[in-house]
A and B are shown apart, each in its own frame.
Chain A
Amino acid sequence: MARIFKFGDGISTDAIIPGRYNVTTDPVALGKACFIEARPDFATSVQPGDVIVGGRNFGCGSSREHAPMAIKAAGIQAVVARSFARIFYRNAINIGLPVIQCDAIYDAVADADPVSIDVHSGRIDVSGKMFQGETPGPVAVAIMEAGTLIDLIKTRGWAAIEEVS
């Protein structure tokens, strides 16, 4: 059963992957350094499919795409947060890391709670307590359906976004 890793407000990209660890483009190396100082046991304890629940302004700060890459490579299935910083949110969608905005879940769950999540519908089940994430925008949906932004643009070009705008 997937578990929750719970974080607070204002988790910055510096906390997710400090600057001196993003001197690589290798996702595996980035995954090993995920939260290396903010939560040193994170990368070694995440099991594939686990979920991060964050507070407000998750992913604030630098535009480094290494941050969602590190979270994804560490094995995290999705990040649920009360709110996301704009660039992190867009980066996560672009590389195929599901990000779900949901305010109600935050105070109702604890670290290590078992969780199941449907990243397409945004339904989150925590020990029978159900939460509904907010519906992503049309461009985010189009990218998620394609897998990544690169997949979307490569197969369909800008028309894919122009037709949902």
Chain B
Amino acid sequence: MGTLTEEIFSRRLGRPVHAGEIVVAPVDYAMAHDVTGPLAIEAFRKLEVPLWDPERVIMVFDHILPANTVASAGLHKIVRDFADEFGVTHVFQEGICHQLMVEKGFIRPGGIVVGADSHSTTYGALGCFSAGFGSTDIAVTFATGKTWFRVPETIRINLRGALPPGIFPKDLALKVIRLLGAEGANYLAVEWGGEAVEAMRVDERLTLANLTVDFGGKAGLCEPDEQTRLYLGDADVVDLHPVQPEYRQLLEVDAETLEPQIACPPAIDNVQDLSAVEGTRLDEVFVGSCANGRIEDLAIVADYFRGRQVHSRTRTIVVPASKAIYMEALARGYIQTFMEAGALVMNAGCGPCLGRQHGVLGPGERALSTSNRNYAGRMGSAQAEIYLANPAVAAASALAGMIADPRSIAHSENPPPRPSPARGEGDIPVGGVN
């Protein structure tokens, strides 16, 4: 009974669990990366206990890869030594932690996963309760396999209607952030539903779940369905739905009338319609990140870049979210398209999103990014400006050297076909809404 969150915790703990309760719960996996991992390891060592389960601790090198300074190489060494000492086998250096958690099969619908990175909300796209924590919390999970949660109340967001051509899940997420504000879901879980979500592939839902933390959400969940089954290639996906849920808030958003949304500097909730900022000159365009670095995102960009050149004043950086995505992009010819268009293609990982590698912004520079953070100083100088947008806007803007509307540019292919909705209408629970 209850929201997706209450259902997941009730099943895990074998008793009815309600929002507001404080519970200590076992988790499936605990993840840390090359920046949060070293602090987690130091805290874990203070506990002076064995590692809970070397098979269920995930370590990813992605934020600074390969190490670009002596200091960052030192961080990597802390992680490698820990993995060697404790027999941690899931150590990756082939993409962004969140993409790998999903690709490598660590995420199951109905599961509970914790990560030492705020965008650990991403796995909610598969119906897993996942949340970001700091290093000390993760250290305690490394030692015990558990963490404590205050089971959150839920905001239900119903995205009604179908996405029009040229509008993407990123636009829906930014529209929600525009409506709710940067702390609109602070301490709360978010359920993403409605016709537009039901019609989305899992990669698109990953974008929604990813951006949930950027308006404060503790977790961002989609109901597992036929799309989830297709994505996991597994018929044995747990049946998981809200059952007579009581929501803190219900938000309805009309997808059909949406314009491309741009988060303008210096805050994620400073969101405007694209038309308000068209023509803004750009020094850098970044395509990638855990928000929009997947093959479907690269396909959109390749469609615009094919046979064209990016503008000479705009360095354009493409970073596939994982090695698997990179290799698929190679096989499909996208990498050649990007390079022929004049873009720089970097190794899979976080890229320039966090201002430490692969395209740091200088004072007075302006970037447009498909990532999820535009705080001052995020990608380099605090005097640089960052705009956030969907991949099509990024592609059109790279070609124009300024923020541009992709709908005014012909592109060579249509984006991948959108599968029909897996579930029928009328099964979105609206009862019990506060």
Give Cα A15–Cα B245 distance, bound, in whole angstroms.
38
Give Cα A94–Cα B116 distance, bound, in whole angstroms.
14
A153-B140, A165-B148 given; A65·B134 CB < 8 A:
yes
Give Cα A150–Cα B137 distance, bound, in whole angstroms.
9
- Stretch touching chain B among A19-27, A115-123, A125-133: A19-27
Q: Mark B137-152, 1 if CB is under 8 A from A, else 0.
A: 1011001101010100
* Chain B, Cβ-Cβ closest to A11: B375
| Contact yes or no, B135 A19, CB < 8 A | no
B112 within 8 A of A: no
| Contact yes or no, A161 B22, CB < 8 A | yes
| Contact yes or no, B143 A20, CB < 8 A | no
Instruction: Collect the chain A residues with CB atoms within 8 Å of residue B376's CB.
Output: 12, 14-15, 37-38
A23-B69, A63-B134 given; A139·B377 CB < 8 A:
no
8 Å CB interface, A130-165 against B: 137-139, 148-150, 153-154, 157-158, 161-162, 164-165
Q: Closest CB-CB distance, A90 to chain B, in whole Å?
A: 7
B27 within 8 A of A: no
Give Cα A91–Cα B133 distance, bound, in whole angstroms.
8
Q: Closest CB-CB distance, B141 to chain A, in whole Å?
A: 10
8 Å CB interface, A25-58 against B: 25, 37-38, 56-57
B187 within 8 A of A: yes
User: Which one of A18, A138, A154, A162 contacts B377 once the chains associate, using CB atoms below 8 Å?
Assistant: A18
Q: Mark B186-222, 1 if CB is under 8 A from A, else 0.
A: 1100000000000000000000000000001010000
Interface residues on B, range: 35 or more
A158-B24, A164-B22 given; A150·B136 CB < 8 A:
yes
Give Cα A24–Cα B77 distance, bound, in whole angstroms.
12
B378 within 8 A of A: yes
| Contact yes or no, A57 B182, CB < 8 A | yes
A10-B182, A18-B377 given; A87·B133 CB < 8 A:
yes
Q: Which of A15, A56, A60, A69 has the most chain B CB atoms inside 10 A of its CB?
A: A60
* Chain A, Cβ-Cβ closest to B44: A150
| Contact yes or no, A14 B135, CB < 8 A | no
Give Cα A32–Cα B187 distance, bound, in whole angstroms.
31
Give Cα A69–Cα B36 distance, bound, in whole angstroms.
13
Q: Which of A14, A154, A164 has the most chain B CB atoms inside 10 A of its CB?
A: A14
* Chain A, Cβ-Cβ closest to B360: A20
B75 within 8 A of A: yes
| Contact yes or no, A87 B132, CB < 8 A | yes
Q: Closest CB-CB distance, B139 to chain A, in whole Å?
A: 7
User: Which one of A19, A65, A138, A157 contacts B356 once the chains associate, using CB atoms below 8 Å?
Assistant: A19
| Contact yes or no, B144 A158, CB < 8 A | yes
| Contact yes or no, A139 B36, CB < 8 A | no
Q: Closest CB-CB distance, B106 to chain A, in whole Å?
A: 18
| Contact yes or no, A86 B187, CB < 8 A | yes
B336 within 8 A of A: no
8 Å CB interface, B171-197 against A: 182-183, 186-187
| Contact yes or no, B373 A37, CB < 8 A | no
B302 within 8 A of A: no
Q: Which of B46, B75, B135 has the most chain A CB atoms inside 10 A of its CB?
A: B135
Q: Closest CB-CB distance, A88 to chain B, in whole Å?
A: 8
A86-B186, A138-B22, A150-B43 given; A61·B373 CB < 8 A:
yes
| Contact yes or no, A15 B377, CB < 8 A | yes
| Contact yes or no, A18 B355, CB < 8 A | yes
Instruction: Collect the chain B residues with CB atoms within 8 Å of residue A37's CB.
Output: 376-377, 381-382
| Contact yes or no, B186 A57, CB < 8 A | yes
B78 within 8 A of A: yes
A61-B375, A63-B36 given; A23·B134 CB < 8 A:
no
| Contact yes or no, A165 B72, CB < 8 A | no
A2 within 8 A of B: no
B295 within 8 A of A: no
B91 within 8 A of A: no
| Contact yes or no, A61 B267, CB < 8 A | no
Give Cα A106–Cα B148 distance, bound, in whole angstroms.
31
A64 within 8 A of B: yes
Instruction: Collect the chain A residues with CB atoms within 8 Å of residue B183's CB.
Output: 56-57, 60, 83, 85
Give Cα A15–Cα B355 distance, bound, in whole angstroms.
12
**28 pairs from A and B in contact (CB 8 Å cutoff):** A10-B182, A10-B267, A12-B375, A12-B378, A15-B375, A18-B355, A19-B356, A19-B378, A23-B35, A23-B71, A23-B75, A24-B71, A24-B74, A25-B75, A57-B183, A62-B118, A63-B36, A63-B117, A63-B132, A68-B134, A85-B186, A86-B216, A91-B137, A137-B22, A139-B22, A149-B136, A150-B140, A164-B22
**Which B residues have a C-beta under 8 Å from some C-beta of A?**
21-24, 35-36, 38-39, 42-43, 46-48, 63-64, 69, 71-72, 74-75, 78, 116-118, 120, 132-137, 139-140, 143-144, 146, 148, 150, 182-183, 186-187, 216, 218, 267, 354-356, 360, 373, 375-378, 381-382
A-B pairs with lowest CB-CB distance, top 4 = A91-B134, A165-B22, A37-B382, A65-B134
Given contacts A149-B136, A149-B137, 15 further A-B contacts (CB under 8 A): A15-B377, A18-B378, A19-B355, A20-B360, A23-B69, A23-B72, A24-B71, A24-B74, A57-B183, A63-B116, A83-B183, A83-B186, A87-B133, A87-B134, A165-B23
